[in-house]
Amino acid sequence: MLEEVLPAIRAGLHRLTLASIRVPRDLALELFAHLDQPAPRLYRLALSLKLPADEAPVDLPHDLFRDSCPRLHSLLLKNIVLPPSPIPILAGVDIAVYQHTFPRVVTFPVAFFLKAAPLRIVELMAGDFILPEDLWSATVQDALRQLESISLTYSDDQSNIVSVLPLQDIPEVILAPPKIPAGRLVMAHLDGPLRLDITSNERGTADTIVAYAPADTSSTKQRRSFLDVQADFFDKRPDINPAPFYFDTAYTDRITSLTVSSSRWRIVTKHAPRLPRCTSLTLELDDAKYLRLRPRKTPPAFPLLGILTLRLANAEISCAGWRNLALHVGELPDSCRLVFETVSLDFFDDDWLDTFHEVDVR
């Protein structure tokens, strides 16, 4: 089969705009040997090798596509090692994904940051990263400052990379999942009032996104996102439960805006007993389960809440069977306004609706 496929790929390289290729490790060199012609139209490339974590990855050749791939914009490499110096196909790449199977340890891919055109978005995944001396060079640090987003997924201490990053200059940093020391480092540059989003995540095993950002988005675009597992928020083991980090009063006492998926509302009721400065609460309905139950403990208090907004998480959400719903919060001011966006009042309990003096439907 491959005897026919690989020559066909080679013959069509001059026409390809998108390519996603995944082969076993023992076919990697044969694959690379067939990627030896110019690819003038190739815009997005994904190369993945299937191999166990205890097997060595394969080096990416310097002369892929005969050094001629001028339009390549997005590159994904999985279980393939990038050379330490720039190679021609990287010249125009501004989105890079670099993945290695856990728990493999690899060298941080500085070649992405030594080329002329800077990256905008980079995702790095491995068991851990060895940091080369070039990472501290002015060239690499300047390139890191040009990033719009960096995502780090690895199992060992994340502080080694995070401490090297010019965090104050990178708008979005994503840790998946965060180690607490690294999490505190990436949060250190968020000053003043904060916005917190706790939403469901449909990609991968980390099913929950916790994201902090400045409440005033006009002054800065910084956002610190953490991918975690919802079940861990209810784990009694302190080394597993991430809640003490996310709900540290150093952060929660500064929250003025909170957005939560309804399927994640119980995280708030469990770990945020009081949000003293929060004036805006938005609930994105993706599940009605936790809006049917009366809380077993005192619900979270919002003494300054001015607006409570309810809306569907997305248009595909099924509302079948939604009746007599209610969102239980404590210390709710009489002046709080209830706003419905893309969701019907008919789903909610009449007595609960009557607790609000002003209800808007948009």
**Closest Cα partner for 165 from 131, 211, 216, 192?**
131
CA distances from 292 to 67, 261, 281, 287, 324 (A): 61, 15, 19, 10, 7
Burial label for 20, CB within 10 Å (0-12, 13-18, 19+), is: exposed
**Closest Cα partner for 243 from 172, 162, 183?**
183
What is the rounded average pLDDT of the residues 313-332? 86
pLDDT, residue 2, reads 64
**Closest Cα partner for 87 from 65, 110, 63, 69?**
63
Percent of the chain with pLDDT over 70: 97
Least confident of 89-93, 264-268, 289-293: 289-293
In sign, the C-alpha dihedral spanning 320, 324, 330, 332 is positive
Cα separation of 132 and 315, whole Å?
Answer: 47
pLDDT, residue 317, reads 80
Residue 115: pLDDT over 90: no
| Token representation of residue 127 | 């068991």
Top-confidence residue, 154 or 344: 344
- Report the Cα 271 to chain-centroid distance in Å: 22
Strand 80-81 and strand 105-107: the pairing is unpaired
Which pLDDT tens digit goes with each residue over 154-192?
A: 766 777 889 999 999 999 999 988 888 899 999 998 999
pLDDT, residue 1, reads 61
Percent of the chain with pLDDT over 90: 72
CA distances from 75 to 39, 72, 119, 303, 342 (A): 14, 8, 11, 48, 38
Residue 3: pLDDT over 70: no
Residue 345: pLDDT over 80: yes
Top-confidence residue, 343 or 96: 96
Top-confidence residue, 322 or 260: 260
pLDDT, residue 259, reads 98
pLDDT, residue 219, reads 66
- pTM of the predicted protein model: 0.92
